[in-house]
Amino acid sequence: MVELVLIDHVGHFGDGVALVDGKSIYVPYTLGGETVEVAPVAGHPDRRRLLAIERASPERIPPFCQHFGVCGGCAIQHWDAEPYRAWKRNLVVETLAQARLDGEVAPLIDAHGLGRRRITLHARMSTHDVLKVGFAAAGSHDIVPVDRCPILDPALSGALEAAWALAEPLTPTGKPLDIQITATEGGLDVDVRGSGPLPAKMIATLSRVAEQHRLARLTRHGELVLMREPPTIVIGTARVTLPPGSFLQATIVGEQTLAALVSEHCKRARHIADLFCGVGPFALRLAAKTRVSAFDSDAGAVAALQKAAMATSGLKPVKAEARDLFRRPLMPQELRDYDTIVFDPPRRGAEAQVRQLAVSKIPVVVAVSCNVATFARDARILVDGGYKLESVTPVDQFRHTPHVELVARFKR
């Protein structure tokens, strides 16, 4: 059944929200004030599919990507920059208010820079035995084949072609593949997952493809297939060789912006614990002035951080330790050695660790988050434990999506 609805506002996930019979109806790719024609979405009574825009918002702009509206990577390319930026900052303001958290929210910092430096492409065989390599479609598990993506850093040039070339010889396995590609100083670092065990002949074929596409390194489930150049990145004054499949901030400017905010909040620290440290985007910069102990469950990342710190002159002592902070958070007696804590957990937040921080005597806690909802939950625990939320700065490195990063400072 076709309906005509009025969009009231843009919701937290980037969909337009229409209020129909007292209920919220979600329509992707729409803006507040628009009248749109929609159709039901099977299995989702609160969602509608956009058919046509009867009356467009004056804030609507043409999307810049030919795949927008089909590819699930971007939710918002159709909104003018200023109202989009106001909406994204307000995601933080509203979520904190709902959690009864008082704290100044600074203006949104744009950190898109040159674009994304890492992507994960998916390779699947269609029902007609046609190979598709690309991104997941909006709202489904279908794959949208792509031969270009305008939000990528130019350093990822050749990434899409390499992914197609690697997927083609693996199609006889019949397995769905995930191909993670990261831009590094040495070139493209690629890790292929999902292929299962492969015969030596197939490994040799993949090695030839890697050589033809001048990949810095090709790994399969983290196991080395070929390395032409060490896949390194620069963090501060250190050079880090990435473990296969490493997590990095999505953009170079995003990492630099978050690190600058963290460093500013830690400028009087004498001994910092960097929790969920990864390969050291904060630790290796903070160590230019301060002693740092770094912790993360990823042993490969921790080893890469430690090796980089030892090879870099001029840094204060850095001690890196592999530790699962979800299962074994640092306890108050262990936290007594530090005067400042930095934590940057995955999207699920750091509830177990935060509960220990809340009963510690640490003077300053600096939180970095990629999920404002779990940040608000963790911040509420700290505030209830006697901390004051002094400031929150939202950072937009995932432009065109509802994802927002933030850096916050707490003082006991």
Tokens for 350, please give them.
């750091």
Residue burial 338-364, b: 16+ Cβ < 10 Å; e: rest: bbbbbbbbeeebbeebbebbbebebeb
Residue 6 bridge partners (DSSP): 35
Residue burial 273-296, b: 16+ Cβ < 10 Å; e: rest: bbbbbbbbbbbbbbbeebbbbbbb
Q: Please, what is the angle between helix 159-170 and helix 200-212, to 10°?
A: 160
Residue 301 bridge partners (DSSP): none
Which DSSP category does 322 fall into?
Answer: E
Residue burial 204-219, b: 16+ Cβ < 10 Å; e: rest: ebbeebbeebebbbbb
C-alpha span between 87 and 17 (Å, rounded)? 14
Of 71, 149, 277, 370, the active-site residue reads: 370
- Continuous H helices in 171-286: 200-212, 252-265, 283-286
Coil, strand or helix at 187: strand
Query: What do you get for the CA distance between the two ends of the chain, in Å?
Result: 57
370 is catalytic: yes
C-alpha span between 288 and 56 (Å, rounded)? 52
CA 228-233-372 angle, 5° bins: 130
E strand spans, 56-186: 104-105, 109-110, 118-125, 131-136, 143-145, 177-184
Residue burial 55-77, b: 16+ Cβ < 10 Å; e: rest: eebebbeebebebbbebbbbbbb
Known catalytic residues?
Answer: 370
